[in-house]
Amino acid sequence: DFDKVTGLVLGADDYMTKPFTPIELVARVNAQLRRFLTLNQPKVEEEKISILEAGGVVIDFEKRTVHVYGERIDLTPKEFDILYLLASHPKKVYSLENIFQQIWTNDYYDDNNNTVTVHIRTLR
């Protein structure tokens, strides 16, 4: 276990121990390719909408403020970023991994990572 943790801490994306099955190797390679393709898609520069309004909620991107029926709501920077991301694309469905990769651009997403879920629970 120490070798696995050390390898991952030092920058490995994955770690397999012997013995392993060929099907597991193929699944892990496919997962790495999927992550690579997702992370390396050319990003289209979107024009940030300065103020979003919907159902009594006003999100001001420039001031980074949120008001619900006129009452200011204090959010952490990450909570604001998640809310703005979701509100600015109301018809798009995001997975937890998509949200994580959009907001925490330099960190590695792990399926056991609860970060996005906790932030969304706070927003609700």
pLDDT digit string, tens, across residues 46-72? 566 788 888 889 999 889 899 999 999
Any domain includes 44: no
Per-residue confidence (pLDDT) for residue 89, from 0 to 100: 84
Any domain includes 16: yes
Any domain includes 72: yes
Beta partners for residue 65, in sequence order: 60
- CA neighbours closer than 13 Å in the CB half-sphere of residue 105: 4
Residues 24 and 57 both lie in one domain? no
pLDDT digits (tens, 9 = 90+) for 73-118: 999 999 999 999 888 888 888 888 888 888 886 666 666 678 888 8
Per-residue confidence (pLDDT) for residue 23, from 0 to 100: 92
Residues 34 and 62 both lie in one domain? no
